[in-house]
Amino acid sequence: MTDFQDKNRGLQQRIKYLRTFIILLFTIVLFRGWHMQIIKGSYYRKLSEDNRVRTVIMPPLRGIIYDRNGEILAKNVPSFDAGIVIADTKNLNRTIRKLSPLIHLSFEEIKERIKYAKNYDPFSPILIKEDISIREVALIESQGWNLPGVVTIIEGRREYPNNVLAAHLLGYVGEVSQSQLREVDYSSELPGRIIGQNGIEKEYDSLLRGRVGRKNIEVDASGHERQILDISEPIAGDNIVLAIDIGLQRAAEDALGDRRGAVVVLDSDTGEVLALASHPAYDPNVLSRRLLPSVWKKIAEDPGHPLNNRAIQGTYPPGSVFKILMATAGLEGGYIDPGGRIACSGGMQFGNRFYRDWTSVGHGSVDLHKAITQSCDVYFYQLGNRMQIDTIANYAMQFGLGEPTGIDLPSEKKGLVPSTQWKLNARKERWYAGETLSVAIGQGYLSVTPLQQAVMVNTVVNSGSLKRPRVLKGIISDKEKKTYEFSSVEVRKIDMKESTLKNIKSALHGVVNEPGGTGGAARSYLIDVGGKTGTAQAVGRQSVTGLNDHAWFAAFAPVDKPKITVSVLVEHGGHGGSAAAPVAKKIIEEYFKTVNSDE
């Protein structure tokens, strides 16, 4: 074989390899083209469409909240926000560095906010800064060519014009959390949506929230809008009217002042909540915006627990206000005769323990009227011993204690009405007779919220009609320009003899208006006030310097035909007669001077 033949064979071999390589290359290209167009065609078409066409969510305006006189309690104000669409930022860090000085947020702060929203749709804007100034808007818009993915968003920001006033009642709004998105109520919502997080804002969120709109837009390579393709307008939330009178609410909060405590004011006939105060409070305007961790930590760790709505979540021994229920039950059950007398010498020996009266000198000869007006403990020790704990518990639960009142506010506590069965289940112990004596004067295991205290007293002075307390008064139909009001709800009617009501009202009138009555500080020259003081031991606190007993006063006016019922609690305020009764007097007088001036 010659050299020429060897070279020719080698050339043919290389041509063969080249041909195989080209065939293989074309096969790969053809396969890849087939895979991309046939198998993954719809996927890549969608990607292409998403790069060109976007669906922009348009948040609706949240419904406005009014008080019963049309005063605005929560509204929306125009707000500009800055956001970033991740899919449009080819170099995210570069975009952040460009944006940072324009909106006065550090690189790290912006990164942190993007990190928080890691589950966002990459084609939806992530909120970076709320409520930016017009100057910041102008800077972003003028440098848009250098800020790919950065957008300005216009929406309504929640504003509470009265700041801290009625904060616990109104609540606040905030961005829906990942855990909330898994709940049925929010399963159709999108990340970033603003929803009610507490108070009325949460309770009636489904009414207030409205429905988002959508618009499909064509965008350029930087994500900037070129044209609107189609649009479905958002539907605003319903406006609602609350039963509260903001003037009376202000009077209640002013009367409570800087002291920790709560006030509940009910319309005696309907059960509507005219005012509901809890102090310390917070500014819902602050909580309704994006919170810096340091601000949230300061609020959450405040020793005054401002987030706690003491009116419906604080549970305390009811103190001597509970004697109203004891007296009512004693008369209805035939355990006492209103004219029957006992001797009070400052205490009562029971078993191996001496149960003291609140005054060591005693009250002398005491009938029911005197027992209530002067709050004689010995009288009610004896009544409690006659009734026994399960009978007391039965009456207490009939009057709404030991269960939520059903008020239209979230996270209401139910308090505790002890019984023999309760102690057996909860403590694995039998009930001791001496414990009944403590419950009879509103102490021991018994605990109530200020709202329950108001409902209980209102039920007694309302001839046994237990009305469900309600904050919502009506819904305004924007379409029909009408307000739909709700009727009062009677939970149950408790049988009460006319003589029982007469005796109880007379005694409660005496608490405020007779010599020796413990509630004289609530006496008014404007209106006839009845009420009952209470001084509840703060168990375990007595040894702590500066922490006194809790002060209670429950009142109603006018005595003959109550229009308003008030419950006041001052945490560690000392005596109910000196600390809580003056608060109730101010509120009642404000009501009859301004809200119900015909009386």
For every residue of 28-65, DSSP letters joined together read HHHHHHHIIIIISHHHHHHHHHHHHEEEEEEPPPPPPE
For the question of residue 320 being annotated catalytic, the response is yes
Amino acid letter at 562? P
Please report, to the nearest 10 degrees, the dihedral formed by the alpha carbons of residues 447, 452, 453, 454 taken in order: 170
User: Given 268, 278, 288, 320, which residue is catalytic?
Assistant: 320
Tracing tokens 């001791």 back to the chain, one arrives at 432
Report whether 319 contacts 442 (CB < 8 A).
yes
- Residue among 464, 506, 545, 205 at smallest CA distance from 339: 506
- Kind and range of the H or E element at 569? strand 564-570
How far apart (Å, rounded) are the C-alpha atoms in residues 417 and 156? 46
How far apart (Å, rounded) are the C-alpha atoms in residues 135 and 127? 18
Task: Let me know if 414 is exposed, middle or buried by CB neighbors in 10 A (0-12, 13-18, 19+).
Answer: middle
Amino acid letter at 48? S
Rg of the Cα atoms in the chain = 34
236: tokens are: 């605003």
For every residue of 58-99, DSSP letters joined together read EPPPPPPEE-TTS-EEEEEEEEEEEEE-GGG-SSHHHHHHHH
DSSP state, residue 592: I
Residues identified as active-site: 320
